[in-house]
């Protein structure tokens, strides 16, 4: 026997799930014994990722809130591959491969080279607690960071795709040009009063532009890496609770019901492209709609100023650009490719941030038409 299986905790436990196989089932009177094995080459799956996959896995709205087992007629491997959770391990690392140009990190570490020994020990301890590919530490992704335009990639990771940023402060941090590149998006986060997303660790004395004597920090001199990690995890959990239980990739709550409504519509749009137009309209709100036609997404746009700045708060599902817009009427976006999960999150965030829908409370009417 070899049945693919997802071993998950209830959502309130805030623990990652694992992928494996049931290898044997035995019964004796009123008892059942199940033998299983865990796939070491598969990434751990966070609670928010399970919610993203709820439609693919056939999960009901209450299934992740009570202890039970269930048999599903779903393709577990295909669903996990879509989120790159069962990719081949990185060369020599035993860690599943993820694309750092798109991946979301729980914790990202910003530091000067002088603090590397201490920071690497912290990174390794964090992996023990959070799992692989939840921590951005540069040496974990050497092959992907050896590229042109690394400065813009790092600013995207720190500014858009990190739930918590841990900054290791010293004079060296203030002096190093690359630390300055990383600190620019960090300053932007501070300017938007999202202070809870930044955790300062003092590894040495020094003056750093943008860091003030009234800012709080943890002193690395009095905390070993194993002692520091629980404090980092505690802050991460606090962020999660402030955001409705689970920190989301783009700092928005994961609206599982809305994602479950949106993703089937995207599948229909992809399957029927380019000859079909799929319209998602908020129930009872004729002015709140999004259309998918081929590689383009047309959306209601109720604002007078251009969408360039407003859409910066949205997730980034691969390459996309604004191709047309008209004040108080519409905006049109062109996507390099349509990937259901990431695009569903983008659409949900658009409804919430651009069209001012209440997170988790709006519902959609879906219409498919030939064009």
- Tell me the per-residue pLDDT of 58-93, one tens digit each, with 9 for 90 and over: 777 677 777 778 887 777 776 776 665 654 333 344
The side-by-side arrangement of strands in the sheet containing 320-326 is: 320-326, 330-335, 296-300, 289-293, 276-282, 364-370
Local confidence band at 322 (pLDDT 50, 70, 90 cut-offs):
very high
Decide if 299 contacts 333 (C-beta within 8 A). Answer: yes
> If you average pLDDT over residues 311-317, what whole number do you get?
80
State how far Cα 5 lies from the chain centre. 23
Domains for the chain: give ranges and CATH numbers. Answer: 3-82 (no CATH), 105-242 (3.40.50.10140), 256-370 (no CATH)
% of residues, the chain, pLDDT over 70: 87
Give me the pLDDT at residue 28, please: 84
* Contact (CB, 8 A) for 299 and 353: no
pLDDT at 263: 84
Q: What is the pLDDT of residues 257-295, one digit of tens each?
A: 778 778 888 888 888 878 899 999 999 889 999 999 988
Task: Please write the tens of the pLDDT for every residue from 183-237.
Answer: 999 998 888 888 899 999 999 988 888 888 889 999 999 999 999 999 999 998 8
What would the pLDDT profile of 109-125 be if each residue is shown by its tens digit?
999 999 999 999 999 99
31-59 burial code (b ≥16 CB/10 A, e <16): eeeeeeeeeeebbbbbbbbbbbbbbbbeb
- Using the predicted structure, report yes or no on whether residue 175 has a pLDDT greater than 90: yes
Tokens of 279: 């319209």
The 18-28 sheet, strands edge to edge: 3-7, 18-28, 31-38
Q: What is each CA distance from 288 to 77, 297, 332, 365, in whole angstroms?
A: 35, 14, 14, 11
Q: For residue 19, with 0-12 CB atoms within 10 Å meaning exposed, 13-18 middle and 19 or more buried, which class applies?
A: buried
Contact predicate 370/275, CB 8 Å: yes
Between 95 and 118, name the one with better pLDDT. 118
Among 244, 229, 222, 43, residue whose Cα is nearest residue 124: 229
Rounded to 5°, the CA angle 146-152-157 comes to: 85
User: What is the spatial distance between Cα 74 and Cα 110, in angstroms, rounded to a whole number?
Assistant: 40
C-alpha–C-alpha distance, residues 84 and 82, integer Å:
5
pLDDT at 282: 92
Q: How confident is the model at residue 246 (pLDDT cuts 50, 70, 90)?
A: very low
Average pLDDT of the chain is: 83
Model confidence pTM above 0.75 = no
Close Cβ partners of 39 (under 8 Å, ≥ 6 residues apart): 18, 19, 20, 21, 86
């Amino acid at each position: 026997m070899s049945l693919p299986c997802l071993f998950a905790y209830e959502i309130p436990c805030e623990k990652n799930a694992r992928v494996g196989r049931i290898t044997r089932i035995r019964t004796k009177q009123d008892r059942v014994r199940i033998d299983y094995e865990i796939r070491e080459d598969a990434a751990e799956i966070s609670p928010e990722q399970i919610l993203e996959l709820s439609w693919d896995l056939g999960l009901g709205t209450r299934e992740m809130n009570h202890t039970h087992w269930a048999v599903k007629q779903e393709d577990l491997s295909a669903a996990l591959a879509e989120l790159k959770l069962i990719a081949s391990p990185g060369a020599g690392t035993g860690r599943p491969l993820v694309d750092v140009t798109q991946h979301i990190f729980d914790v990202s570490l910003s530091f000067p080279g002088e603090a590397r020994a201490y920071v690497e020990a912290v990174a390794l301890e964090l992996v023990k607690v959070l799992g692989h590919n939840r921590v951005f530490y540069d040496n974990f992704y050497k092959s992907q960071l050896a590229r042109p335009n690394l400065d813009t990639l790092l600013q995207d990771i720190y500014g858009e795709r990190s739930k918590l940023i841990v900054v290791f402060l010293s004079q060296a941090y203030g002096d190093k040009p690359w630390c300055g590149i990383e600190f620019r998006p960090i300053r932007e986060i501070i300017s938007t009063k999202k202070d809870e997303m930044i955790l300062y660790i003092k590894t040495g004395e020094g003056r750093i532009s943008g860091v003030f004597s009234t800012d709080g920090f943890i002193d690395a001199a009095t905390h070993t890496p194993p002692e520091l990690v629980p404090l980092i995890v505690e802050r991460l959990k606090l962020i999660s609770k402030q955001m409705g239980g689970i920190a989301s990739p783009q700092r928005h709550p994961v609206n599982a019901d809305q994602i479950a409504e949106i993703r089937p519509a995207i599948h229909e749009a992809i399957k029927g492209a380019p000859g079909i137009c799929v319209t998602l309209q908020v129930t009872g709100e004729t002015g709140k709609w999004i259309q998918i036609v081929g590689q383009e997404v047309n959306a209601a746009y109720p604002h007078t100023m251009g969408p360039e700045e407003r859409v910066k708060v949205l997730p980034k599902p691969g390459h996309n650009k604004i191709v047309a817009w008209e004040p108080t009427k519409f905006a049109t976006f062109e996507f390099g490719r349509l990937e259901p999960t990431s695009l569903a999150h983008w659409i949900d965030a658009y409804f919430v941030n651009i069209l001012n829908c209440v997170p988790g409370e709006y519902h959609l009417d879906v219409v498919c038409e030939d064009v």
